[in-house]
Amino acid sequence: MNLDDFSDLIERPDGGVRRDAEERRERLAVPAGALGRLDELGEWLSAAQQSVPVKAVEQPRVVLFAGDHGVAELEVSGRAAGTAHELVRAVLDGASPVAVLARRFSVPVRIVDAGLDCDPELLPEAVVRHRVRRGSGRIDVEDALTAEEAEQAVRLGMRVADEEADSGTDLVVLGDLSVGGTTAASTLIAALCGTDASVVTGRGGAGIDDLAWMRKCAAIRDALRRARPVLGDQLELLAAVGGADLAAMTGFLLQSAVRRMPVVLDGVVSAACALVAQRAAFRAPDWWLAGQLSGEPAQLKALDRMALTPLLDHGVTVGEGSGALLALPLVQAAAALAAELPERAPEPESEPESESESESESELPSESAPEEKEAETEEPSKAADTTA
């Protein structure tokens, strides 16, 4: 499997449709520019949907890929290693931030177990049936996945994207449920951006103290040494320092772009997968939105590399797709405004004068004509008086 093949499969959103959407926007009653970035969002959706006016986003879905990372054994996370299944359970029970928001916005949530380190019996069959392996390797000293597992994970993500597109999903909010995932994601971003570990090391969704930050930075530094020799092959890179969930998300993003299905990215993990996908297919980022700025330095670096500007910056660091889901109403509002605002009433045209009217006016005698004749007769008499 060669991820570079996606470059020939992915096209940009329709530029002609976008121009039509821009022209329609200029005809709306609300002055151009008055809606700020909502105008841009509406035009982007029109191009993605190939529709003017834009259609409403009626079937969004939250898709969360779950996995445990062996590097969490180094205590680089605010959560204990191997406990990502607890995050999954909280979402299923409706007790997590993303579950609360999804319930409020009436958006279904789908969880895909790509590499949880738990007994499958702890979770529903619909969640665990896609698992690639139990946990990912410790990326500072070993590969996260074998080459076969990396390909299997990418194909898993592609299959999930196809299932969502076939079911009528018109926009995906993409997130992750992982422990140690930000360490792997930061490694991928540092490798692809050519930067040092200290520049990309953040404190994760659960928050860590200074000692844990130093351990995390060291783990990323060691993993970077293993990542650099395989930078030329995205699949090998995911196998070396990614993980089952990250490889699956990368496959999901690429296949979503193939299927012309827009995706809203959440935090640093989805940004890292997007950066890997962009390396394989440079047009793919045109199908994605950055939902929010999570505060992770690696995320900001990845978004800057892809020229994606976050919609929100509210300091939401909880992960799980929560920040991206908060951006969904903004996208839906942009679609509604672009589609439902009325156009300006056409200005009445001034009627040109008819030729018959202008001709009749020119034939009328001038009122000043008699006065001019009287003046001409008076002048000779005055001249005669003076000579006398």
Structure tokens at 355: 């030729």
Q: Which of 43, 151, 164, 320 is catalytic?
A: 320
Nearest partner of 139 among 204, 218, 192, 207, judged by Cα = 218
Could you give the CA distance from residue 152 to residue 130 in angstroms, rounded to a whole number?
A: 10
Relative orientation angle of helices 37-49 and 15-26, to the nearest 10 degrees: 140
Q: What share of the chain is helix, strand, coil (3-state, %, to 5)?
A: 55, 10, 35
Could you give the CA distance from residue 265 to residue 174 in angstroms, rounded to a whole number?
A: 5
Residue 58 bears catalytic tag = no
**Contact criterion met (CB below 8 Å) for 45 and 334:** yes
Amino acid type, 347: E
**Contact criterion met (CB below 8 Å) for 200 and 272:** no
Cβ count near 233 (within 10 Å): 17
Amino acid type, 59: Q
Whole-number Cα distances in Å, 37 to 41, 144, 311 = 6, 40, 9
Could you give the CA distance from residue 343 to residue 29 in angstroms, rounded to a whole number?
A: 5
What are the residue numbers of the active site? 320
